[in-house]
Amino acid sequence: MQYPEPIAKLIESYMKLPGIGNKTATRLAFYTIDMQQDDVTDFAKALVAAQRDLHYCSICGNITEEDPCLICRDKQRDQSTVLVVETPKDIMTLERMHEYHGLYHVLHGVLSPIEGKGPKDINIASLLKRLQNDAIKEVIIATNATPEGEATATYLSRLIKPAGIKVTRLAHGLSVGSDIEYADEMTLMKAVEGRQEM
Amino acid sequence: MYLEQLQLTNYRNYQHLDVDFSPGVNVLLGANAQGKTNLLEAIYVLALTKSHRTHNEKDFINWQATFAKISGTVQKSSGRVPLELLIGKKGKSAKINHLEQAKLSQYVGQLNVILFAPEDLSLVKGAPAVRRRFIDMEFGQMSPRYLYNVSQYKQVLRQRNQYLKQLKYRQADDQTFLGVLSDQLAQYGSAIITQRLDFLTKLEGWAQTLHQDISKGKEKLTFDYVQHLKGQATLKQALQVDTAHEIELGTTLVGPHRDDVRFLVNGKNVQTFGSQGQQRTTALAVKLAEIDLMKAQTGEYPILLLDDVLSELDDARQTHLLKALQHKVQTFLTTTSLSGVAKTMIEAPRVFQIQGGHLKRRTKVNG
Ligand SMILES: Nc1ncnc2c1ncn2[C@@H]1O[C@H](COP(=O)(O)OP(=O)(O)OP(=O)(O)O)[C@@H](O)[C@H]1O
Ligand SMILES: [Mg+2]
Ligand SMILES: [Zn+2]
């Protein structure tokens, strides 16, 4: 027997989300049918609003309701450093630390030919443009410690350094408060490589 | 180290198995297709989470079941370590001392095994890929760093090959990015080569002694690591000189994924000039040398798994093999019948009769 069309469509929609297969989508769809009507309406509105009301900041690529974003408009922030991240989510994480007061730039991915992402497919051109006009003295690269994240960092530094701008990379190593005993061998290895003189 | 106990649930043709092994020689006796290799494979998988026979991990699960479980206790100089590997339809999870490990790479290395199957006799004769696989599997067990470098290298290589193809079909044109990928590949590749050279030098030392023994002092075995660097001094340079050709072919032409090891007996390449017997002696010496290398690298002797190899070797080579392992390494050997040299030489073997996925301990070797 086939599912009635409304539920089949709902299953199909859930399956478009990352990491959700047929089984989970079916479970979610049947759960949705049994939800309070108000909750379902709010849910649907939130989905539509998230796309309609959010834009990418034309300067840094962060998600924002207004363009430019709050961070780019904040003149109190240190205008001489730009921290480069892979996703807008990384900005949220870094902002929670309340320690970094400079600007950001979101690449929206990393260089990965396998996924069809070359230098023109991620947000690099607008970064280079920013570096021409602004008073930027340092670029901090905070891409992940994957091979692709490392290649992207190296690529950026080769483009930026000749312009006389300082390029730095976030350090990798042990997380604070974590026990050496529970760190995996590669984290330890990176931590040893990146050790600092005291 | 040795494997004290092994439990299997739904592993291939073993629905349920719970067995105590001898720290010495364990003989797995049985007719064809009864589960001898399956049992060795289970021990191998418990050690490495991968099989030498298949890439498809669903094959491990009994046809009537939805998951398979391998668990065992390993005795080491540092104490007893319980290990457990669960294989489901969607993947694996591993526990050391009842604690689930976040990464399988953290788990590998607890139990060290060396497997010797008839195919290994083609280590010398076979294609370079056979020798590279041998090197990567064995050195990976001894060094998490080697394992890490190999997996990073493979990923960068895939990216670089893909980018070369995109350059070829003019879907890309950025030479700076190609340079970045080349340097990154050179970085992991050089690390791999340095470690290979180091391990191979050590392995050569032990293999030489064993080989001299087996050949009664008449022959000298040496290793030669072969790289194709296009006339350049370093891999980094070699990756820069021929990019036009690489773009044309859409693939990376230099690096550890193309390297090879040559085995020389009295200076002559055994692969091309050696007799069948010389090739086998060399393969045997190299395999047995691994036992000592692993002991030197990890501080413990590994476990030796011998699948049907005795029947492939003549009496003299069988004698050398048994001499090299007895009273030193825990050994599991499979055979359809125990006879000849093995029967007289192996001291106090624990013999198990295998039939249709069931194990029975035998008190007598004969009858
Ligand atoms: N997933 C599985 N579930 C059930 N049975 C399986 C599974 N995988 C393999 N088998 C069975 O295991 C048997 C093979 O066992 P194995 O390879 O261990 O034989 P063997 O005793 O080593 O034989 P030989 O002496 O020929 O090498 C086959 O009969 C096969 O049908
Ligand atoms: Mg077999
Ligand atoms: Zn912004």
- The environment of the single-atom ion ligand 3, i.e. residues with CB closer than 5 A, is A 57, 59-60, 62, 68-69, 72
Instruction: Tell me the CA end-to-end span of chain A in Å, nearest whole number.
Output: 71
- pLDDT tens for B243-278 read 999 999 999 999 999 999 999 999 999 999 999 889
* A25–B contact, CB cutoff 8 A: no
CA distance B248 to chain A (A): 17
Min mean pLDDT across A112-116, A129-133, B105-109 is at: B105-109
For residues B130 and B142, give the distance between their C-alpha atoms in angstroms, rounded to a whole number. 19
Could you say which of A113, A151, A184 has the minimum Cβ distance to residue B184? Answer: A151
Measured CA angle at B287 (ends B284, B293), to 5 deg: 140
Closest chain B CA to residue A159? B176
Contacts of A151 in chain B (CB under 8 A): 156, 159, 177, 180-181, 184
Q: Is B24 annotated as a binding residue?
A: no
For residues B146 and A91, give the distance between their C-alpha atoms in angstroms, rounded to a whole number. 34
| Residues contacting B343, CB < 8 A, separation 6+ | B365
| Residues contacting B108, CB < 8 A, separation 6+ | B47, B48, B49, B140, B141, B144, B147
Task: Tell me how long chain A is.
Answer: 198
Reported confidence tier of residue A46, pLDDT bands at 50, 70, 90: very high
- pLDDT at res. B367: 43
Q: How far is the CA of B38 from the centre of ligand 2 (A)?
A: 7
Percent of chain A with pLDDT over 70: 91
For residues A19 and A11, give the distance between their C-alpha atoms in angstroms, rounded to a whole number. 14
| Residues contacting B110, CB < 8 A, separation 6+ | B47, B74, B81, B83, B96
Sign (positive or negative) of CA dihedral A179, A184, A189, A190: negative
Please write down the HEC assignment for all residues of B293-345: HHHHHHCCCCEEEEECCHHHCCHHHHHHHHHHHCCCCCEEEEECCCCHHHHHH
**Cα atoms in the Cβ-side hemisphere of radius 13 Å centred on B273:** 8
What residues pair up with A193 in beta bridges, in sequence order?
none
Tell me which long-range contacts A94-97 makes (C-beta under 8 A, separation of at least 24): A94/A142
Q: How far is the CA of B325 from the centre of ligand 1 (A)?
A: 27
- Is residue B254 within 8 A of residue B228, CB to CB? The reply is yes
- pLDDT at res. A193: 72
Closest chain A CA to residue B151? A147
Min mean pLDDT across A67-71, A122-126, A181-185 is at: A181-185
| Residues contacting A85, CB < 8 A, separation 6+ | A91, A94, A104, A105, A106, A107, A142, A143
Contacts of B180 in chain A (CB under 8 A): 151, 154-155, 158
Compute CA A87 distance to the chain's CA centroid, rounded to the nearest angstrom: 1
Per-residue pLDDT of chain B (367 residues; tens, 9 = 90+): 999 999 999 999 999 999 999 999 999 999 999 999 999 999 999 999 988 888 899 999 999 999 999 999 999 999 999 999 999 988 899 999 999 988 887 788 899 999 998 888 788 998 999 899 889 988 988 888 898 899 999 999 999 999 999 999 999 999 999 999 999 999 999 999 999 999 999 999 999 999 998 888 889 999 999 998 988 999 999 999 999 999 999 999 999 999 999 999 999 999 999 998 899 899 999 999 999 999 998 899 999 999 998 888 888 888 888 888 888 999 999 999 887 777 888 888 999 999 999 999 987 655 4
Domains, in order of start, for chain B: 1-112+301-367 (3.40.50.300), 119-299 (1.20.1050.90)
Question: For residue B50, what are its two tokens?
Answer: 């991968």
- The CA-atom distances, in angstroms, between B229 and each of B162, B226, B350 are 22, 9, 51
Q: Which helix (H) or strand (E) holds B14?
A: strand B14-20
* A111–B contact, CB cutoff 8 A: yes
Ligand 1 site, residue B40, Cβ cutoff 6 A? no
- pLDDT at res. B132: 93
**Does the complex come out with an ipTM higher than 0.85?**
no
Contacts of A148 in chain B (CB under 8 A): 155, 159
Contacts of A189 in chain B (CB under 8 A): 145, 148
Q: Can you give the pTM of this predicted structure? A: 0.83
Dihedral class, residue B82 (left if φ above 0, else alpha if ψ from -120 to 50, else beta): beta
- The CA-atom distances, in angstroms, between B34 and each of B39, B333, B335, B352, B361 are 10, 14, 11, 12, 15
Q: Is B109 annotated as a binding residue?
A: no
Nearest to B74 by CA among B11, B21, B36: B21
Listed by number, the residues of chain B in 144-163 with a beta carbon closer than 8 Å to a beta carbon of chain A are 144-145, 148, 152, 155-156, 158-160, 162-163
Could you say which of A114, A120, A186 has the minimum Cβ distance to residue B159? Answer: A114
Q: Under CATH, what is the fold of the domain A5-53?
A: Helicase, Ruva Protein; domain 3 (1.10.8)
Reported confidence tier of residue A138, pLDDT bands at 50, 70, 90: very high
**Extents of the domains making up chain A:** 5-53, 71-169
Q: Is B31 annotated as a binding residue?
A: yes
- pLDDT at res. B239: 96
**Cα atoms in the Cβ-side hemisphere of radius 13 Å centred on B238:** 20
- pLDDT at res. B364: 64
- pLDDT at res. B25: 94
| Residues contacting A120, CB < 8 A, separation 6+ | B174
Determine whether domain A71-169 maps to CATH 3.40.1360.10. yes
CA distance A184 to chain B (A): 6
Ligand 1 site, residue B33, Cβ cutoff 6 A? yes
